[in-house]
Each structure stands twice: as C-alpha cells, then as structure tokens.
Amino acid sequence: MNQCLTFRMGAELYGVDIHNVQEIKGYAPSTPLPNSPDYFRGVMNLRGIIVPVVDLRARFGMPAIEPTRVNVIIVVVASGRVTGLLVDAVADVAELRESDIQATPDVCGAAPPDFVQGVARMGDQLLILLNTDRIVAAAA
C-alpha cells in the first residue's frame, strides 16, 4: 500500500488503499432492503449501477449516529464488486511506506480482526488500515 485514503469514524482514523477507491460521494439516503443486517443501509443508484451501502460504524459495533451532510460514502471496488462505505468524514490521502505498517495486534478493537490489514503511525495518531476485499466480501 503506497497511498491510502484516510477517514474518521468517531475519534479513530482509518484508511483504505487508494487504488480501491472509485469515488467519494456526499451522504444521500439509500433505499433500504427488507431483512437486511443492521449495518446494511440499503442500495443507491450510481449512474445506473445499483450499489450496496454498508455503514462502517454499525459494522464495527460503534454507536449509531444520524448521518448529516458531513458524512460521506466512499465508493470502493474490491473483489470485483462496487460497494459504498458510509463513514463520518474523509480526512486526507496519506503516503505510507511498507516499513510504516505494522501487523495487526491480536486485539484490534471495534473492527472485526479479518477487516484490519495493519496499523500505521501518522504523527501522534494511529491509522487503522482496512482490507476492502474482506469488508466487501463480508457485505455480500
């Protein structure tokens, strides 16, 4: 991972490989589907493509918030699928060297362990690097 898109959920900073990011959209309500898991917000129409939207706060067991115009949907392409990830706010694009990334600790907090690819230090804050392939596959 050379560049990653960083975003916030609560006080934590997360990142995904920039090569998996198709676009960033402002929050818009999605169409809910019946009998969906609580982290599945529904589907949205993205220029004729029906895209599922996953609320990462809910997926990681974080307290729910009502989305506002500050929230964004990061549209990612992973495992051959397009998926929207609802997050609190986009932060920046970060440059990382492989030596900056450390293995995931056995106890990794809110994110399911297989979703976390590693942890990197950015100044005095830690960046939790997510594996978009596993997140998208789990949302299927």
Tens of pLDDT, residue by residue over 10-45, are 999 999 999 999 999 999 999 999 999 989 999 999
What integer pLDDT is reported at residue 57 of this predicted model?
93
Q: Is the pLDDT of residue 104 over 80?
A: no
* Number of other residues whose CB lies within 10 A of the CB of residue 62: 17
Rounded Cα distance between 44 and 86, Å, is 12
Where do the domains of the chain lie? 3-139
Mean pLDDT of the chain: 89
Q: Per CATH, is 3-139 categorized as 2.40.50.180?
A: yes
What integer pLDDT is reported at residue 36 of this predicted model?
92
Q: Is the pLDDT of residue 1 over 70?
A: no
What integer pLDDT is reported at residue 107 of this predicted model?
56
Name which of 29, 30, 38 is nearest 69 in CA terms: 29
Residue with tokens 């220029």: 47
**The pTM is what?**
0.89
Name the pLDDT band for 49 (thresholds 50, 70, 90): very high
Name the pLDDT band for 109 (thresholds 50, 70, 90): low
Encode 114-124: b = buried (16+ Cβ within 10 Å), e = exposed.
Answer: ebbbbbbeeee
